[in-house]
Amino acid sequence: MIEDNNTAVGIESFVDIAQPRNAGDTVRESLTNFTQNNATMQSGTVLVEFTVTKPTFARKDKTETAKLLQKTGATAKQAANVTKRMFAGCDELRDIDLYVLNRRNDHKAATMRYGNLGYRLTTRAKWFDYHKMMTGFEKVFYEKVDVFVDWYAREHKIIEDWLGTLYDANLYPRTPEKLRGMFDWRLRYPEWEDYGSDDITDMLDSHREMLVDLSAETARVMEQEMQNDFYKRLYDPLKNMCEKLSDVGDKKQTFRDTLIDNVLNIVDIVRASHSLDPEMRSICNDLESTLRPINCDALRDSSYLRSETKTKVDDVRARIEALNTFAM
């Protein structure tokens, strides 16, 4: 039987949120994000919040841990820990784990970090494609959950063989429906841009005393984090582009049609946010003027164009390195 609070199996939440320390921080940072960055939210971007929650199905076995400590002669209780994986032999559950990991990476690749509450940004121009992609992922996610739950309903007795003496029937859900309810996929677009400051104040009236000392410093730090994330996201595609545009003797490198789009997609998101410092704006301008007029077919056909483009991209990459805002 699974405890109602899910502590028996552990709940793993793939929330794209760096959780604040307490509720006061949530209110403080949320309102700061809105009041200091309202112009950003009313621009060409959409706020995204993506959450996947699923059980870890991992449980510390205190009895087996004690036996291990006694057997090894260890005197420190923290010297060893026996954690049993309740579905250790289940390919259907591993399939869900891998799928969630890959889809979370897809979500991050299609969006940009925004602040420290875990929200991310996509552009309004790309929102439809993003939403279509994520809702398609959601459908497959629940299909995989159904496959796992159906397997559990049919084959759950095999788990006792897998775990041997580690098996404890009380840790497992009594019904497939209870198991299915432990999985959740959630995609939200918080409608911050629709609220005025009076509306926000009314919504958070019970926390009014927490909002008195909101400072511009919080907004400044958030903007800096966004900029650092932009440079970090941009650096690797630029590095890859430079490598692909480098001819080796008479042999040219092969590259995909996404070589240019991988860079311009990031530029589009940052431009839409209107949160550009002068150097970021200059880098975006230079990349657009260099990459917008050309396509990958033209690069493949012209060694001169490859060389000229590589020189310009190398210059941008060197400027990012000079900023030293993140570890290369």
pTM of the model: 0.59
pLDDT band at 114 (very low <50, low <70, confident <90, very high): confident
Q: Does a structural domain hold residue 6?
A: no
Q: Do 21 and 61 sit in the same domain of this protein?
A: yes
Per 3-state DSSP, the chain is made up of helix, strand and coil in percentages (nearest 5) of: 60, 10, 25
Q: Do 192 and 68 sit in the same domain of this protein?
A: yes
Q: Do 58 and 149 sit in the same domain of this protein?
A: yes
At residue 274, the pLDDT reads: 56
Q: Is the pLDDT of residue 105 over 80?
A: yes
Q: In a 3-state reduction of DSSP, which class is residue 26? A: helix
Q: Does a structural domain hold residue 196?
A: yes
Q: Average the pLDDT over each of 6-15, 143-152, 225-234 and give the range with the smallest value.
A: 6-15
Q: Do 52 and 148 sit in the same domain of this protein?
A: yes
Average pLDDT over residues 100-107: 92
Q: Do 128 and 15 sit in the same domain of this protein?
A: yes
List of residues 6+ apart from 146 with CB closer than 8 A:
180
Across the chain, what does the average pLDDT equal?
Answer: 75
Q: In a 3-state reduction of DSSP, which class is residue 277? A: coil
Q: Using alpha carbons, list the distances in angstroms from residue 147 to 72, 74, 255.
A: 41, 43, 38
Q: Using alpha carbons, list the distances in angstroms from residue 88 to 8, 80, 158, 256, 310.
A: 16, 20, 11, 39, 49
Domain carrying residue 234: 216-323
- Separation of alpha carbons 145 and 212, rounded Å: 46
- Separation of alpha carbons 292 and 221, rounded Å: 32
